[in-house]
Structure 1
Amino acid sequence: MKIKEIIVVEGRDDTTAIQRAVEADTIETNGSAVPPSVIEQIKLAHEKRGVIIFTDPDYPGERIRHIISQHVPDCKHAFLPKHEAIEKRGRGVGVEHASDEAIRRALKAAQLVEAEATEHITKEDLIDAGLIGGAKARERREKLGEKLKIGYTNGKQLHKRLIMFQITQEQFARALTEVLQEEKK
């Protein structure tokens, strides 16, 4: 699988894992500070080929994603569920620990983001679905984020991410139904 866009990762081990799974070029942030020189590289990459941000499913990874998105809006985003990015001994979490198949799935999902969503999901939809407030909200958001390939977020960020990734009402309803059915098992 060859990736047209340039993939932004955190470090050398992530680059190794990406290049083991797919044919792609990467830019490494080398930490969560993301220096201005790296931001400039990402801006140029975005203009020339497009960018997919693919950071670890943890706080530093989300921080890097946020910093880059502020400076270079309209990037695509690839997400790994935390359970697919845990080191075998359980000591670390990161893209470098994911299987080749998990990496390919995340990158494919990032490339398949729909160009136009017809109707945005509202905050009221999220409350009605039990994704904001309530005993099972956090667990439901985590499972929903995994199914929609948008990563885990808190309630406020979930609404923003659904809009950012142009998730349609239909996609949302289908994923929510799966989450609720799994809950009953």
Structure 2
Amino acid sequence: MKIKEILVVEGKNDTNVLQSYFECETIETHGTHLSERTLALIKQAQETRGVIIFTDPDYPGTMIRNKINENIKGCKNAFIDKEKSKTSKKVGVEHANKKDLEEALMNCVTFDETSETDLSMSDLYEYNLTGNDDSKERRKRITDYMKIGESNAKTLLKRLIMLGYTKKTLDELVERVFVTK
């Protein structure tokens, strides 16, 4: 599989694994401190070929993803489930198998921070996506269905808003995920 966009990953091991499975180019962030030079390189790549941010499903990976999305608009985001990318001691893109990596890359999302919405935290409470004993599990079912990475309530709300969700479309999503017919 050839990937047109440039993949932004955290390190050399991610690059090696991805290039062993796919025809692709990467930019490595080398950790959470993104230099101005690296951000400039990512911005240039976004303007010329497009970028897919593919960071680890952990706190540092989320920090890197957020910083890139805040500074460079229109990047695609690929998410790999934590359970599909971990060993007994580590979690990361480099530990996932080809099938799971391919699925993540085929289900990229692009966030738009200018989306107008009527969605609020109270809507997440209404659907038990926060504030209940099973809220974490319910959020995981939603994020797995949407392929947007496991999230706490605040992050889920932010991602839903950036994807243009409204109360009506959240209602439809919850019905698709939780109501069996």
Q: TM-score range by the shorter chain?
A: 0.7 to 0.9
Q: Which runs of 5+ in 2 are unaligned?
A: none
Q: TM-score, normalised by structure 2?
A: 0.86
CA contact (8 A) 1:121 1:162 kept: no
Distance 2:11 2:118 in 1: 35
Alignment check: 8 A CA contact 1:52 1:75 kept:
yes
Q: Which residue in 2 is equivalent to 1:122?
A: 119
* Candidates 134, 137, 140, aligned match of 2:135: 137
TM-score (norm 1): 0.84
Instruction: Write the mapping of 1:70-109 to structure 2, written as runs, cut at 5 A.
Output: 70-87=70-87, 90-109=88-107
What is the distance in 2 between the residues matched to 1:134 and 1:6? 40
**SS of aligned partner of 1:27:** strand
The residue number in structure 2 matching 1:65 is 65
Unpaired runs of 5+ in structure 1?
none
Counterpart for residue 23 of structure 2: 23
Aligned length: 177
SS in structure 2 opposite 1:8? strand
Deviations 1:40-67 (A, max 9, x none): 1000000001111000000010011111
CA gap 1:5/1:172 in 2 versus in 1, 3 angstroms: farther
Rounded to whole Å, the distance in 2 between the matches of 1:74 and 1:165 is 12
- Larger mean CA deviation between 56-65 and 119-128 belongs to 119-128
User: Does residue 35 in structure 1 map to residue 28 in structure 2?
Assistant: no
CA apart distance, 1:177: 4.2
* Alignment partner of 2:149 out of 148, 151, 173: 151
Give, as a single letter, the amino acid of the residue that structure 2 aligns with 1:41.
L
Q: Deviations over 1:114-149 (max 9, x none)?
A: 99xx98572243222110211111121122111101
Structure 1 residue 171 displacement after superposition: 7.1
Aligned-partner Cα distance in 2 for 1:82–1:100: 15
Q: Contact conserved, 1:55 with 1:64, CA < 8 A, in 2?
A: yes
Give the Å deviation of 1:173: 5.1
Identity rate, percent: 41
Contact conserved, 1:138 with 1:154, CA < 8 A, in 2? yes
The equivalent residue for 1:12 is: 12
Distance in 2 (alpha carbons) for counterparts of 1:58 and 1:140: 19
Counterpart Cα distance in 1 of 2:166 and 2:16: 34
**Change in 2 beyond 3 A, CA 1:154/1:114:** closer
Deviation at 1:172, TM superposition (A): 4.8
Deviations 1:140-177 (A, max 9, x none): 11221111011112112111101223457787556534
